[in-house]
Amino acid sequence: MAISGLLKLRNALHSPLGHCQDVVEQSKEYFALKMAACLQLGVTVAALQTLKLEQSSPLKEQVELANFGE
């Protein structure tokens, strides 16, 4: 989807000046796609960090309990 947007943008840039509106619209579409991808990446990273914290906490407690029993 992003590649087709880039191709449309490239084609619009190489077309006559009468197609300036196309260039603007394609630029908006490209940056909207890029922004959505960045937001999705941010959400994914945050979810992974949360999952890592949730998984590390019980493990840490188990290790402390095991060491206490020795």
Tens-digit pLDDT profile for residues 58-69:
666 666 666 665
Give the whole-angstrom CA distance, residue 30 versus residue 39: 14
Give the whole-angstrom CA distance, residue 10 versus residue 52: 42
CA atoms within 13 A on the CB side of 52: 6
Tens-digit pLDDT profile for residues 1-54:
566 767 776 666 666 655 666 777 778 888 888 888 888 888 888 888 887 776
3-state SS class at 34: helix
